[in-house]
Chain A
């Protein structure tokens, strides 16, 4: 017995020694910048715990590190959602999701709809105290359109006269139709009348850039200590890949309306983890993990709102058998969208019976979707009949093999399998499924190599033309082989008609034509589903646009 005891003691000693030596090594490694980070992190969390007695701090999750806080570069929600709270453009989406005054207090629009003159607020300032001047917009917009900047959002600037020419390398910066009349007056000339230009301007791509700061340090947006904000919040700290802290910006012209003192953005990419953090009180909002949707979706603390976007499937009309309109229509009629929305996608999404998602208001104040009605339907009888007619037209005894493609994801797979099922059941057609990794899939779809493939669309600005113009001839977004002069003409009118009623009329026609030709078949609209902790109020989530914490509050 005794010898065993001795032995155990010896082991313990050896392990202790080993732990000491290796422990020292680990300690040495930690002395690199890393340990500093950890320590400061600790101090910070202690600090906030003390302060939290009097301060209102909202804890949010951004998922991942923002791509970039350069307004021209970070063309995605993870960048533009936070950025929308750090900066402000000429206009800002208000509580009714309409473009209202932002940095611009007022504006004049010329009778031909081509020239906009913006009057900037006298009290609009940058967080470093500089006034926000017209030159800041001129600088930012020309920077966005500069081909060397390689901004993925530059197409938004094509509404401006000379914007497209400059971006494609055919024009010059001097010919871009934006100029500072004086410090607080900005004049913008458009390529053609654009009824929704004020909406477009709410987009973060049009945020100003403090030109004095940016000329001195082109990387001003990369770190918290060089970042200058002109929005409701400013960037207090930014530990890359870990956390961002926003603090209320005292220089903001409407600072009195801002109720929160601080906003923490964690970067937690795992849906289960962020939900568990929400449960344990470490986050104030969270998304619902897909497998918990049934349990949580009906809760009182769930915000469900529309999100301007559509999931749809593209027909490739350059490939058999989908060069035939009736066969395309047959497939569309065989899809039970209600069932897909309710039992496959779940999470409170709405089935799509048209292309343009609900939430776009016509000049007469109605919803675009309601006015143009349902354009697709589930009708197995009609589907079968159309398929027969189509096959007769083409002289098919049997349909050529059909492959339905989607990019790899659990949800896409579930939807694809449901579709496969419906085609067997209602058309007696067996389609094979094929999934591909995103980049491979996207390239194949772009090159028209896929027969029938999944797609999604998220609106960039608040107008139905945004989606519909994807399908004009030779558009980079077309990806179907569709080309119709009639459609192109309708979209042209839908872009530039100065009479809003007539412009919407053209858009209604265009959407109907798209459904009649059945170039793509809608599946469901996107929505925003967020769990909110008790006491959290006033977070503005626009159907199109980026979320706004200006009026957010936490009790």
Chain B
């Protein structure tokens, strides 16, 4: 187990290096500079700006500077918010995105699994149809439309919740609903279909025959196996939601880190592009590692150390 994790971490480092390199190449090959603007300017000012951010140096020097800054975990100031370092931006944004994402995941997982089990147990019953109808809606309505709708109804018209910004638990309710509905629906459908499959298996019949109580069968025997597909999608889902979402954060004016993924590219804010890419990649790799470890715990048949050769 320990050796396995160590090996995975080593591979992660190499993966990160490749990602940094590709990002750098893409970054410098896209036309445009962070200083293009409609504002009055002149050549001297542009040259001063480029010199200030080392953009006048040859590409290989810039590349080495980035590698160095990533290795020392100090990406320096953002070009578009020069009074802030990239570490400041991510350090302030990530905890907020993480908090929102964590609550969202908890809500989505609990309600998704609950809905999934209910529909599986009531297969082709009213509850099943209602739950799955709800799930289809949840998957097909984009979260920004849901968000706008929720704000208009619950905040502007009924005045139950504040419209936006981020200062109290009440401010969290609407974004969590908007953000959780989609993942919840996906989880519900996954749980339902794998529950249906598991419930027909011989070992469940066996358990019934042994006279085990139905809830014990469902929770201990069926659900455990039925959760495998859910665990599979959790890695990417967690990494995606915990690092913030551009649209929802924008609509609810949540100061998370979601916007930096999009805006840094639009603004050619190179240090922030590097920072967000490396951060997201590292986080995703870590989450996938957690998922693989979780497999082993949920299903003892999966032996991590045996997978080494196959995984590469």
List residues of A whose CB falls within 8 A of some B CB: 3-4, 6-7, 9-11, 14-15, 18-19, 22-23, 25-26, 29-30, 32-34, 38, 41-42, 44-45, 65, 67-70, 73, 75-76, 147-152, 154-155, 164, 167-169, 219, 221-222, 240-243, 266-270, 272-273, 276-277, 279-280, 282, 437-440, 442-444, 446, 455-458, 460, 466, 470, 475-477
Contact = CB atoms under 8 A, between A and B. Distances in A.
Contact of A26 (B32, B102, B151): B102
Contact of A444 (B31, B121, B250, B251): B31
Contacts of A243: 165
Contacts of A38: 166-169
Interface in B191-231: 213-216, 218-219
B32 to A, nearest CB: 3
A155 B40 CA distance: 8
B154 to A, nearest CB: 11
Contact of B95 (A7, A25, A29, A269): A29
A276 B110 contact: no
A270 B95 contact: no
Interface size, B (range): 35 or more
B5 interface: no
Contacts, number: 209
B130 interface: no
Contacts of B30: 439-440
B43 interface: yes
Given A32-B95, A439-B32, A268 B165 contact: yes
B164 A273 contact: yes
Contact of B266 (A6, A42, A437): A437
Nearest to B218: A7
The SS class assigned to the A binding surface is helix
B167 A442 contact: no
A42 B253 contact: no
Contacts of A460: 39-40
Contacts of B84: 222, 240
Given A23-B106, A67-B80, A155-B40, A150 B214 contact: no
Interface in B139-171: 148, 151-152, 155-156, 159, 162-169
Interface in B276-298: none
A155 to B, nearest CB: 6
A65 B45 CA distance: 24
Nearest to B122: A4
A41 B35 CA distance: 35
A67 B98 CA distance: 25
B48 to A, nearest CB: 4
B36 A438 contact: yes
B93 interface: yes
A211 B110 CA distance: 58
State the 4 A-B residue pairs at the shortest beta-carbon distance, nearest first: A439-B32, A10-B215, A150-B52, A442-B36
Interface of B: 30-46, 48-49, 51-53, 80-84, 88, 92-93, 95-96, 98-99, 102-103, 106, 109-110, 113-114, 117, 121, 148, 151-152, 155-156, 159, 162-169, 213-216, 218-219, 250-253, 255, 259, 266-268
Nearest to B151: A276
Quick one: which of A11, A25, A243, A440 has the most chain B CB within 10 A?
A: A11
A4 B121 CA distance: 9
15 contacts: A3-B213, A11-B215, A19-B110, A34-B96, A41-B166, A150-B49, A152-B35, A155-B40, A164-B44, A267-B255, A269-B253, A280-B155, A437-B266, A475-B42, A477-B41
Contact of A270 (B40, B49, B159, B251): B251
Contacts of B106: 19, 22-23, 26
Contact of A241 (B93, B159, B213): B93
A336 B53 CA distance: 45
A54 B275 CA distance: 46
Contacts of A9: 215
A212 B198 CA distance: 74
Given A273-B163, A446-B36, 11 more contacts: A6-B214, A26-B102, A38-B166, A154-B45, A241-B92, A273-B252, A276-B163, A279-B156, A280-B159, A456-B38, A476-B42
